[in-house]
Structure formats: C-alpha cells, structure tokens
Copies of this chain bind each other. A is one copy, B any other.
Amino acid sequence: MSEQNRRLVLAQRPTGMVDDTIVRLETEDAPEAKTGQAVVRVTHLSIDPTIRTWMDDAPGYLPPIEIGAVVRSGGLGTVVSSQNDDFPVGATVFGMLGWQDYALLDGTPGEGQVVPDGMDPTAVLSVFGVTGMTAYFGLLDIGEPKEGATVVVSGAAGATGSVVGQIAKIKGAANVVGIAGSDEKCAWLVDELGFDAAINYKTENVAKRLHELCPEGIDIYFDNVGGEILDAALGQLAMKGRVVCCGAISAYNDREASPGLQNYFTLITKRARMEGFLILDYVDRFGEAQGELFGWVLEGKLKHAVHVVEGLEHAPDGLNLLFTGGNTGKVIVEL
C-alpha cells in the first residue's frame, strides 16, 4: 500500500488549550494488514472532553497518551484491507482509531465493533455511541430518577448533557433545568429539546437561579463541568439528592485554578450522595441502552445535534471547542 497516513501525535503535554505545539502532524506510510489484522480508513472522529484528560501525565482510568504517540480518540472508519474475518473489507467499524487517516486493528478483543449498514455515522458517534451510553447509564443507574423529579444538567447543550435532559423528561421528570453558556443554547434547550428552563451561566447567577427554578431542591444534578457550578448545585440539593459526577470540564485545562468545592457539607444535612461512573463498567449493557435509545429516536422523543469540523488537521480545534463552549451538541471531525 503506497497510501500515506497523516497522524496527529502528542508532542508535549498541554497546560491549557491544545495547539500545534502540543499536537504535531506527522506523515508516514499507511499500515498494511498482516495475518489477523485489518486496516481502517478513518472517516469520522468522536471529539470528547476525556481526550484532554488523557493528554495529562496524571493517573486516570486509562494510561496517559505517551509523548510521540497518536492522540487516542474514538472514531468510525471503513475497512480497506483485511486479513481478519471479523472486519471484512467495506465494513464500517467503531473503535479507538485515533487522530489519523488509517488505523491498524491487530485482532485485540474489543478494539473495534462493526456497525450495521445504513446507520447515520453521526448518530453512531453520538446518541448510540459513547455519548448516549454516558447519558443513559449516568442518569438512570447513578441518578435513579423518580417520576416527578427535579433534574439539573450542566454542559446541557453539549453532546451528553442534551441527551441527559431529554431522557429525564422521557422518564417522567417534572422539572428539567439545563445550564449552558449562551442565550442561543438556552433557547435551543427549551424550545427544541423540551427542557423546562435553562440558565446562562455566563450572564446569570447560577446559585440564585437554581434556588428560584428548583424551590423544592434538586433531586438529581448531572455534572459535566465541576467547579463553581457544581458547588452551586450542591448548595441547592433536595433531601436524598444525587450528584452524578460525569465530567469536570471546567478543571481539565487548569486544575490548580479551580476554586474548589465548599458546599459539600450539604451532603450531610440533606443525606445526599455524589457518585462518579465510567461507561467502561457498562459495556455488557450497551445493547439494552441502545435498544431503548433507538426507540426514542424513532418516536421523535430524542433529538441530537452535531457540530461537524472538517479535516483531520482541525481535530485540535474541535477539542478546544468543548472548552470554549463553541459547540452545540456532539463535536465530530469528518475526514
């Protein structure tokens, strides 16, 4: 194979946003499939906040990306050559393909999943993929919503948050409040997705608005952002409230500067709980979730938005969007 493989490798560890001093474009010969292997041409990359945490040299649920290694990332692609019957030429595959044109699957169990024909690639990467699984298991398994609950979601216009709020409504929540970073996003949450209310954290006092919008307290707070917004939500928890810790995007670029939580004492007075999760622990139940999510999409109850970035070389820009709030819905890079 004489094709060239462009790959974005980690040049050094970031302290803030990711630019071309952090991620370097390299070109090499595309890989060839030997016995048991398959080569996938990457067509779409899933841009998730967790990628930024993998760039730090800090303990996490997966090892840090090594310096000089291709940036780890979920993605979709098409098998272009294969010596592995699990991945026939022409099949669409989801896996940790990385920020590159061609990925080599070497037969490790779980490294790739063949996607049925006819699926919308953006839906595979959002509502039926990591994003949807995160929203589904985080809200239902950790948050345990009851009929009539008050549910608050931060990062609500993001990929996960927008799905969380809609699932909460489907499951009978009486009051779903989203927290997002612009009036346009807030209007979209209420007008298009059926949230009951939204708070623009850039122009409003979040603690005060939560107090007004959730006078009986917050039963479930689904946290994507950490920091001050998490602290405000802790201060407004209802009796036996649950905080679902999904992400802490406000702290990923600058952990030191985050002011730290003060309102954890509410966990005692309200007999409340704060719990983290990772969908890695739910892989066995993905089918169950995908089935239910698929039904909701068909019934028109669950919508998803995608923010497409064109070109592998702009993957870092896509990642930065998550931290500047420049996206509504799932960020996907199309190659």
Contact = CB atoms under 8 A, between A and B. Distances in A.
Given A248-B265, A265-B251, A271 B278 contact: yes
- Copies assembled: 2
A20 interface: no
A114 interface: no
A281 B269 CA distance: 11
A255 interface: yes
Contacts of A281: 271
A264 B261 contact: yes
A274 B277 contact: no
A238 to B, nearest CB: 12
A260 interface: yes
B245 A268 contact: yes
B264 A262 contact: no
Nearest to A230: B264
A262 B271 contact: no
Given A264-B245, A264-B248, A264-B274, A61 B258 contact: no
Q: Which of under 10, 10 to 19, 20 to 34, or 35 or more describes the interface residues of A?
A: 20 to 34
Nearest to A59: B269
Contacts of A61: 268-269
A135 interface: no
Interface in A88-123: none
Given A246-B268, A248-B264, A273-B275, 5 more contacts: A61-B269, A266-B276, A267-B276, A268-B278, A275-B275
A61 B231 CA distance: 19
A262 B228 CA distance: 11
Interface in A49-69: 59-61
Most buried by B among A260, A277, A278: A260
